[in-house]
């Protein structure tokens, strides 16, 4: 170079290299390529390689930018590769990616541009532009139905066969035969797969099952119509002012007119009939006692009249004798004796009449008391059957009161955005066993005690109603189903001690519960049906627990 002394012509390269390293050591610099090049130039007497440095910096910036672009593209590619779409299945994406690679391997920049265009097509689920990607799209795939091995059908068929078989009652011979045949066909399909012969046999059995189901549905409809006719007839046959008419009307309302029969309604109607029968037996017993008292009164009257007749006959005979004695009397002493005897007979007759009168009056009073008792009992039953909203036994809401409370809560849910309502069912466990072993009086005490225990543990805004028999309904405003389940579980745990005493014995009572969330626009009956399913699950899985539906 001009004006610069150099040693490259006379000094060997190895010597220059050693000198460069010595310079780095003296300056305490790291032996990086840049530092070494600068020290070498100084040792050789040459200018520092600034142009080389600038080129290298520019190259590093370019590589850094290109690397970032490729990193973003690879990340985008990985994100989209396994996604599916209407146009781009995973397999079709992989094939299109292979075609772009095959056509652009020699030019990295072109490959990058074509991959970006392909990614855009994937993300919009649209066909790509061959002019932009450099390759035609793979053909669209025709969906192929996977051929399942015979063994894969076993769990599917087992579930279907179990569901259909559960609807085929074993006590009906035709239904039992269909269930057995369906099980045989399910095993055959599991072994051989869905062959045409087996498919035809399954279709034949299913057609027979459908006809049986339709017939049984028709039977249920006819039984429902019969129940409604019976309830109508009972209402019309009952006396206008009798308590029985109120009970018949309640039965008719429980069964309903238009809606299809529900398990809840039928069960409530059955409980109402049982309660009505018990009350009717009470009235019948009182009426029987009144009839027996009246028969006894008539008997006593007949006897008393007979005795009075005998007394009257004897008195008439004595009077005739006394009259004859008076006519034949010869002295005052004889006449006095006759008068004395006449007075004695008269007093005897008077005393007998008095005793008969007192006895008849006592019998009449007894008959009147019995009649008043029967009338009072019928009046009480009439009042109870016409009670607006309270169950007479437990003093919580009855079915009418429940309907009223539900309407209030339903309106609140419709009025307030986000408002919730949980509907719960409570059923005493083993209630029939308790009734059979301790008597109906103990069963009534259990119902009253449980209602009181639950009511005192609820919030003021909650509602408790007796739905019928040993079942109660809870309306829990502002709670989700899971929260309501926790509330009912706490109620169950709080009954760990004896609920009441019966003849000195501690009686423990548990209950099973089902709970569901009210859904906008549905009826109370619909919510109770779901809660009843959860209640059945709680009974089936061990009792004394609460399940959600």
CATH of the domain at 292: 1.10.287
Residue 206 lies in a domain: yes
244 found inside a domain: no
Helix, strand, coil % over all residues of the chain, rounded to 5: 70, 5, 25
Domain identity same for 124 and 166: no
Return the structure tokens found at 286: 């009182």
Question: Which among 359, 385, 411 is the end of a domain?
Answer: 385
Instruction: Give yes or no: residues 191 and 157 share one domain.
Output: yes
- Distances in whole angstroms, Cα of residue 543 to Cα of each of 240, 429, 509, 526: 44, 7, 11, 23
Note down pLDDT in tens along the chain; length 549 residues: 444 444 545 677 778 778 878 887 888 777 777 777 888 888 787 776 665 556 566 666 666 777 777 777 788 888 777 776 777 877 888 888 888 888 877 777 888 888 888 888 888 888 888 888 777 878 876 655 555 565 666 677 677 767 777 777 777 787 788 888 878 887 887 777 777 887 888 888 888 888 777 777 767 777 777 776 776 666 555 555 555 556 566 666 665 555 555 665 666 667 666 766 676 677 667 767 766 776 776 767 667 666 666 666 666 666 776 677 666 766 666 666 667 776 776 777 777 777 777 777 777 777 777 777 767 766 666 665 555 578 878 889 888 889 889 999 999 998 888 899 999 999 999 888 888 888 888 888 889 888 998 998 999 999 999 987 889 999 999 999 999 999 999 998 887 666 777 777 788 888 999 999 999 889 998 899 899 999 999 998 888 999 998
Q: 268: closest CA among 454, 524, 515?
A: 524
Q: How many domains does the chain have?
A: 4
DSSP 286-331: HHHHHHHHHHHHHHHHHHHHHHHHHHHHHHHHHHHHHHHHHHH--S
| Inside any domain, residue 19 | no
With respect to residue 96, please indicate whether it lies within any of the assigned structural domains: yes
Residue 188 lies in a domain: yes
Q: Same domain, yes or no, for 289 and 379?
A: yes
Q: Is the dihedral of CA 444, 446, 449, 452 positive or negative?
A: negative
Structural element, H or E, at residue 516: strand 511-517
404 and 378 belong to one structural domain: no
For the chain, the farthest-separated pair of C-alpha atoms sits apart, in whole angstroms, at: 209
What is the domain extent for residue 440?
Answer: 399-548
205 and 299 in a single domain? The answer is no
Any domain includes 467: yes
Distance, in Å, from the CA atom of 155 to the CA atom of 110, rounded to the nearest integer, reads 53
User: Is the distance from CB of 104 to CB of 114 less than 8 angstroms?
Assistant: yes
349 plus 453 within the same structural domain: no
- 411 and 489 housed in the same domain: yes
Out of 98, 133, 168, pick the residue that ends a domain.
133
Do 284 and 367 belong together in one domain?
Answer: yes
Task: Judge if 227 and 197 occupy the same domain.
Answer: yes
* Euclidean distance between CA atoms 201 and 178, whole angstroms: 12
Q: Is there a single domain that holds both residue 380 and residue 406?
A: no
60 with 183, same domain?
Answer: no
β-pair partners for 214: none
Out of 327, 360, 385, pick the residue that ends a domain: 385
User: Which helix (DSSP H) or strand (DSSP E) does residue 84 occupy?
Assistant: none
- The domain that contains 420 carries what CATH number? 3.30.70.270
Decide if 299 is inside a domain.
yes
246 within domain boundaries = no
Same domain, yes or no, for 416 and 330? no
């Amino acid at each position: 170079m001009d004006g610069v002394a150099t040693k490259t012509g006379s000094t060997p390269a190895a010597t220059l290299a050693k000198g460069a390293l010595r310079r780095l050591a003296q300056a305490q610099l790291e032996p990086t390529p840049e530092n070494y090049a600068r020290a070498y130039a100084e040792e050789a007497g040459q200018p520092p390689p600034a142009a080389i440095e600038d080129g290298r910096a520019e190259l590093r910036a370019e590589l850094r930018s290109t690397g970032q672009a490729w990193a973003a593209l690879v990340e985008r590619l990985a994100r989209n590769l396994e996604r599916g779409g209407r146009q781009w299945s995973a397999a079709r994406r992989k094939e299109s990616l292979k075609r772009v690679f095959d056509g652009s391997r020699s030019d990295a920049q072109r490959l990058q541009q074509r991959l970006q265009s392909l990614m855009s097509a994937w993300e919009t689920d649209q066909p790509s532009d061959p002019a932009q990607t450099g390759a035609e799209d793979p053909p669209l795939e025709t969906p192929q139905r996977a051929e399942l091995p015979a063994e894969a059908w076993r769990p599917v068929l087992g579930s279907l066969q179990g569901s259909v078989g559960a609807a085929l009652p074993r006590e009906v011979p035709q239904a039992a035969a269909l269930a057995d045949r369906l099980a045989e066909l399910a095993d055959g399909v599991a072994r051989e797969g869905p062959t045409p012969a087996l498919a035809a046999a399954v279709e034949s059995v299913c057609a027979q099952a459908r006809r049986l189901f339709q017939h049984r549905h028709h039977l249920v409809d006819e039984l429902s119509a019969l129940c409604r006719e019976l309830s109508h007839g009972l209402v019309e046959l009952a006396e206008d002012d009798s308590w029985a008419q109120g009970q018949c009307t309640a039965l008719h309302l429980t069964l309903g007119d238009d809606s299809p029969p529900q398990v809840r309604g039928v069960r409530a109607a059955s409980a109402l009939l049982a309660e009505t029968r018990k009350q009717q037996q009470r009235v019948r017993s009182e009426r029987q006692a009144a009839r027996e008292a009246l028969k006894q009164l008539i008997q006593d009257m007949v006897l008393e009249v007979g005795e009075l007749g005998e007394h009257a006959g004897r008195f008439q005979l004595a009077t005739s004798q006394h009259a004859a004695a008076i006519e034949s009397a010869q002295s005052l002493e004889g006449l006095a004796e006759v008068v004395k005897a006449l007075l004695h007979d008269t007093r005897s007759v008077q005393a007998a009449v008095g005793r008969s009168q007192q006895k008849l009056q006592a019998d009449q009073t007894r008959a009147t008391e019995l009649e008043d008792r029967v009338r009072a009992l019928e009046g009480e039953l009439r009042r109870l059957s016409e009670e607006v909203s309270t169950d007479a036994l437990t003093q919580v809401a009855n079915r009418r009161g429940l309907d009223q409370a539900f309407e209030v809560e339903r309106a609140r849910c419709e009025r307030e955005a986000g408002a919730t309502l949980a509907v719960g069912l409570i059923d005493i466990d083993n209630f029939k066993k308790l009734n059979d072993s301790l008597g109906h009086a103990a069963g009534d005490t259990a119902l009253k005690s449980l209602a009181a225990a639950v009511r005192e543990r609820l919030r003021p805004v909650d509602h408790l109603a007796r739905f019928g028999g040993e079942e109660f309904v809870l309306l829990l405003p502002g709670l989700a189903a899971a929260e309501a389940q926790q509330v009912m579980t706490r109620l169950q745990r709080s009954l760990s001690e004896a609920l009441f005493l019966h003849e000195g014995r501690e009686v423990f009572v548990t209950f099973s519960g089902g709970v569901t969330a009210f859904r906008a626009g549905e009826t109370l009956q619909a919510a109770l049906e779901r809660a009843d399913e959860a209640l059945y699950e709680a009974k089936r899985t061990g009792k004394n627990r609460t399940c959600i539906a």
